[in-house]
Structure 1
């Protein structure tokens, strides 16, 4: 992601922004200040109460200290099927979400993340389940015990006017945002819950099917590839999309509205889907061409493209930021330049294919994508990565020197340190181990953890093994110390 406040920076104008099946935490979760996250909907069952045992209740959070109530414990999602109908005139969203999951403990009760909406029915398997609401937790009591390791399907029927997350610390609004002709859907970090029930944390990735119905004349865009041609009946058109690769919930989208669309393949043979709101019609060909060109180039730097198509969407909602929605980065209310496109497409490797296990390691997404902007500038005849590094280093007044990027903070998640100092960390590493080892490391990192989840410790360990050097002091200085590192 790239943030609005970074649009005024000099080079490349940064805009905000366990392996497959990583199981959620089974442990207890505490909220801010150490308070228990147990609430009326999570009261422990009394001894002898049968199926509803306290040790068979999934935790209301996945165990991330930065966002203690995001995600849920007790199960691992494998696949979402989202059947959604949206009417821009009334702003009503009606949905039926089916979640295929596996229990990682005995489960009598578990949570889903869902913000707002009226829930009319919940089923587990083919049987009705009871449910309660507790803030953004949908608490589901299964009709019978779900044994550890057993697969199960939960389906939630719901409707209402989506309520996006508003005025967050340095991101503004995110989630499902209604627009005059449709919706702008960008969900980082935890906005998936504003439009579908989910295990809303990047540690639990899944595949997706989307069936989206909108008034005829509008286009519905989701992740992955379109399945067949849209079907129209009764003044409504249904679009079907499928993302067959694991995806974090915040990367899912159902952006809808009036769009001009161009499709084809890149020179390297990767299918491309580009769409722009009519306000940005003159941007369509540039978006298509640059997306194809840059995706192909990144395959030479980062390794094979991890997904089945690439693309981009420009909507007229003036978000002031871009988000790396998997296979289709979205640009909110501006025509992106090549540096921004390079950033979001680099995320397809770093952030989308390789997803973080905990939000504190966000630099692994944003530092890598920001450094990719520097690499793109160098490749395309602009400033070199070293020049950009030195320009940033010379900015002694920047607050990033007292704000190490190695542990992102909830109230300032998309801080300049995570982006710029994160990128500088990679350049310092490149200078220390040399180009051959550095670029071999980046490809190995992308290949080893493809479609999985990663941590900073894992990256440091791989960097040391690949280079044959002890790199602890370098990473400590650049990622964890609240001071400006000395240059060697």
Structure 2
């Protein structure tokens, strides 16, 4: 899920707790949905059938969620008598059945309902939209809400519950106008034209997923097929964006194959994207994708990679508790970079980590831990979570890291996992404790190390951490240079205490973490006899802050020498919003953009010299 980077950032406010989960004492096995979609009048009508296992305690009622704006006409059951139906509590449904539902019983109920789904969240739930410009008429659902606690929002159109451990099979029939296409989770079984001018689109998902991953979407789609089998890859595209979609979705099959090679086989029968007014959301087998991102060029590869990866991290293995959300979103954000590595090459991968992930993670501050964060949908969970995986890869090495991911997937396939369980899998491959790592970076620690490096005239240097709060311990790679000659590379264990290092090689400068594994900042303090000890070796963006911003954004960057640098900012449609050139000095520099007259949304900020280009994304939120 990528609500922030899509340019549709939800309000950063305390999460609204909508319902305690203590009444959810059953296990839904399968849901059948049979609904008519009236796009002109913003209405749905039909039924949802639920097959439920009673597996915790005996019950005489079933408690579900459904918005009050949807009127329940009747409830039937093939296994029990329906005594009464009540709607006590916020958007709640109580179905009283007899005889008592005992442990081991299976209950089959069908709920008939109709109405206009209420707007329950700034982002999630079901929405209707009329044709506007290049956008056609549409009805679509988004499975999570930004302002809800817990996040799932499908109760705006489907009787269900919000527990991520309640994984279900799914089958759906969508009755829509014949000039519209219906999309839902699973493989498409058929589409049948009716004499009354409607069509029924039929889908079935045979792999269990959490209910927040179910969805429907109806619009004037054309189906763009990229692969016919193993798995089917098809995208549901507006006719007005058909040409752009050919380039936009081009890397998807290659990236899917790369993820399967490193994480384990793709386990669903179909994959693709369906264009919607907002996005993105990793619905099972078909991502609801922000329509304005479908532009000429490959600007949004990162977004495609992120959502695709959720079919391993989120859909195949799902968090057991929302406090562990980084196992979904931090993983998928790191997969943005991994997609760059396996589709575009290592240089693109390193650049993406340095200019997109690490600056956003540093800008996130130290307000909360990654586990049980104060805010689910921010950079602490997403970009900092990704940087933690990047560092874990460095600590474990590629072979053990990726074998751990594959094993983690297999152990918790179609089930739920916690951070503790992921840590345990990693330790079983690493053959040593990683408690120190997970405590500092996930469970207890906040922020990141800010290293001060002091070079001494005696061919030694010392390394300290100047940040307040959490102090970090971890292995760090160091390069030793004498003039322009690399004399040695070593890996040292950095402790919070003042550490002095006396390498047995000549050097007059050092480069700490040259390949950018660690989330950090560096401050060099050369001794008077080592004035040239540190100078930037590459043109790089250090950070873009604040992010989100309104209206002024400051971009910090490093330049190895004096040179002209041009900054360009592009909106989500690829339109140039600003262009300015400044003369950079050797060392640290900044460029400032005042976006007072620009619209809210995500912007790609590009800094260019004659020989290099670096990019970073920032969200303008007015």
- Indicate the TM-score class for this superposition, using the shorter chain for normalisation: 0.7 to 0.9
CA deviations 1:181-225 (Å, max 9, x no partner) are 231211113111001101232210100000110112111000111
Q: Which of 305, 308, 327 lines up with 2:285 in the alignment?
A: 327
Preserved contact between residue 121 and residue 128 of structure 1 (Cα < 8 Å): no
**Which residue number in structure 2 is paired with residue 118 of structure 1?**
71
Q: 1:69: Cα distance to partner?
A: 2.8
Pair 1:159–1:404, CA change in 2 (3 A) = same
Q: 1:306: Cα distance to partner?
A: 1.4
**Which residue number in structure 2 is paired with residue 153 of structure 1?**
108
Alpha-carbon distance in structure 1 between the residues aligned to 2:382 and 2:268: 24
Q: Which of 58, 66, 89 lines up with 1:106 in the alignment?
A: 58
SS in 2 for 1:99: strand
Alpha-carbon distance in structure 1 between the residues aligned to 2:396 and 2:425: 13
Q: 1:283: Cα distance to partner?
A: 3.0
Q: Which of 334, 345, 354 lines up with 1:381 in the alignment?
A: 345
1:367 lines up with 2:321 in the alignment:
no
Alignment of 1:204-243 (within 5 A): 204-243=166-205
**Which residue number in structure 1 is paired with residue 85 of structure 2?**
131
Alpha-carbon distance in structure 1 between the residues aligned to 2:365 and 2:338: 21
Q: Which of 283, 291, 316 lines up with 2:244 in the alignment?
A: 283
**Which residue number in structure 2 is paired with residue 403 of structure 1?**
368
TM-score (norm. length: structure 1): 0.82
**Which residue number in structure 2 is paired with residue 448 of structure 1?**
411
Rg comparison, structure with higher value: 2
**Which residue number in structure 1 is paired with residue 388 of structure 2?**
425
**Which residue number in structure 2 is paired with residue 81 of structure 1?**
32
CA deviations 1:394-436 (Å, max 9, x no partner) are 6786134332211134xx2201110011011111111111111
CA deviations 1:59-97 (Å, max 9, x no partner) are xxxxxx977535852210110010111101111110211
Alpha-carbon distance in structure 1 between the residues aligned to 2:359 and 2:9: 23
Pair 1:303–1:16, CA change in 2 (3 A) = farther
**Which residue number in structure 1 is paired with residue 315 of structure 2?**
352
Alignment of 1:134-213 (within 5 A): 134-167=89-122, 173-180=123-130, 181-188=137-144, 189-213=151-175
User: Which stretch has the larger CA shift, 379-388 or 219-228?
Assistant: 379-388
Preserved contact between residue 204 and residue 248 of structure 1 (Cα < 8 Å): yes
Alpha-carbon distance in structure 2 between the residues aligned to 1:89 and 1:67: 30
**Which residue number in structure 2 is paired with residue 461 of structure 1?**
424
Alpha-carbon distance in structure 1 between the residues aligned to 2:233 and 2:373: 33
Alpha-carbon distance in structure 2 between the residues aligned to 1:183 and 1:102: 32
Pair 1:394–1:213, CA change in 2 (3 A) = closer
Q: 1:285: Cα distance to partner?
A: 2.3
Unmatched runs of 5 consecutive residues or more in structure 1? 9-14, 18-64, 168-172
SS in 2 for 1:429: helix
Alpha-carbon distance in structure 1 between the residues aligned to 2:359 and 2:82: 62
SS in 1 for 2:165: coil
SS in 1 for 2:172: strand
Alpha-carbon distance in structure 1 between the residues aligned to 2:365 and 2:212: 26
Q: 1:262: Cα distance to partner?
A: 1.9
Alpha-carbon distance in structure 1 between the residues aligned to 2:324 and 2:395: 22
Alpha-carbon distance in structure 1 between the residues aligned to 2:267 and 2:359: 36
User: Which stretch has the larger CA shift, 271-280 or 82-91?
Assistant: 271-280
Q: 1:228: Cα distance to partner?
A: 2.4
Preserved contact between residue 274 and residue 287 of structure 1 (Cα < 8 Å): no
How big is the alpha-carbon RMSD for the aligned residues of Structure 1 and Structure 2? 2.5
Q: 1:384: Cα distance to partner?
A: 5.2
1:435 lines up with 2:386 in the alignment:
no
Preserved contact between residue 377 and residue 385 of structure 1 (Cα < 8 Å): yes
Q: 1:290: Cα distance to partner?
A: 2.5
Q: 1:288: Cα distance to partner?
A: 4.7
Preserved contact between residue 361 and residue 384 of structure 2 (Cα < 8 Å): no
**Which residue number in structure 1 is paired with residue 20 of structure 2?**
69
Preserved contact between residue 358 and residue 383 of structure 2 (Cα < 8 Å): no
Alpha-carbon distance in structure 2 between the residues aligned to 1:128 and 1:389: 56
Unmatched runs of 5 consecutive residues or more in structure 2? 11-15, 131-136, 145-150, 295-299, 450-471, 476-622
Alpha-carbon distance in structure 1 between the residues aligned to 2:138 and 2:3: 23
CA deviations 1:262-316 (Å, max 9, x no partner) are 22526x832112111223222332355332222112111111001111111123x
Alpha-carbon distance in structure 2 between the residues aligned to 1:396 and 1:367: 11
CA deviations 1:91-110 (Å, max 9, x no partner) are 11102111001112211012
Preserved contact between residue 319 and residue 327 of structure 2 (Cα < 8 Å): yes
Alpha-carbon distance in structure 2 between the residues aligned to 1:405 and 1:284: 35
Pair 1:100–1:368, CA change in 2 (3 A) = same
Alpha-carbon distance in structure 1 between the residues aligned to 2:253 and 2:359: 35
Alpha-carbon distance in structure 1 between the residues aligned to 2:101 and 2:313: 35
Q: 1:339: Cα distance to partner?
A: 1.3
**Which residue number in structure 2 is paired with residue 309 of structure 1?**
270
Q: 1:456: Cα distance to partner?
A: 0.6
Greater relative CO, 1 or 2 (CA 8 Å, sep 6+) = 1
Preserved contact between residue 173 and residue 201 of structure 2 (Cα < 8 Å): yes
